[in-house]
A = this chain, B = another copy of it.
Amino acid sequence: MDEPNLVERQLRSTTVYSGSVLRLRVDDVELPSGRRSRREVVEHPGGVAVVAVDRDSSVILVRQFRYPVRSALWEIPAGKLEPGEDPLRCAARELEEETGYRAGVLEEVVPFYTSPGFCDEVLHLFFARSLEPGDERPDEDEVIETRRVSRAELDDMIARGEIRDGKTLLGLFMAIARGLV
């Protein structure tokens, strides 16, 4: 931070829960005004998400049951970073695990925070091209369905509200803006 006057200063930190995916802590902080407040913070390892574009400019979507929202969502391939894992390596791994494809070209587009008001999760968004079949098969406990979707079909799915996952909408709109799909 180059503007220390903006900083909310940590006075006390209490870890409430430490699980396999998340940690939750509750911190007492001092605001720049001098007032005190409390912050509930979810710590998450961060992850990657991959817009994989095929030779014919179609995009590969996967469908997964998402327990917190009790429904199956169409998403771009994505996954959590292992401790110390490089995002590029993670993107290659998750793409192959979830879709069976390897990417000849894999470039990071942007890292972004999913919900910085209460969570430190960073997602690294990648574009993947020059797809070739790999060796991995999707884990049946994770991915339900894989589908190649053309630009026209994407536009329909978006217009009908069938894509409800934020990272997927962002990845698709960025790929469209760059003329990739």
Interface residues of A (CB under 8 A from B): 1, 3, 6-8, 16-17, 19-22, 24, 26-27, 29, 31-33, 35, 37-42, 44, 65-73, 80, 110-123, 140-141, 144, 158, 161, 164-167, 169-170, 173-174, 176-177
- Contacts A6-B144, A19-B26, A166-B167: A113 and B67 contacting too (C-beta < 8 A)? no
- With CB as the reference atom, state the residue of chain B lying closest to A167: B166
A–B pairs, 20, beta carbons within 8 Å: A1-B70, A7-B70, A21-B118, A22-B118, A32-B65, A32-B141, A37-B141, A41-B67, A41-B68, A69-B113, A69-B120, A73-B113, A80-B117, A112-B164, A113-B165, A114-B114, A166-B167, A170-B173, A173-B173, A173-B177
Which residues on B sit within 8 Å (CB–CB) of A112? 164-166, 169
Which residues on B sit within 8 Å (CB–CB) of A27? 67
* Complex copy number for this chain: 2
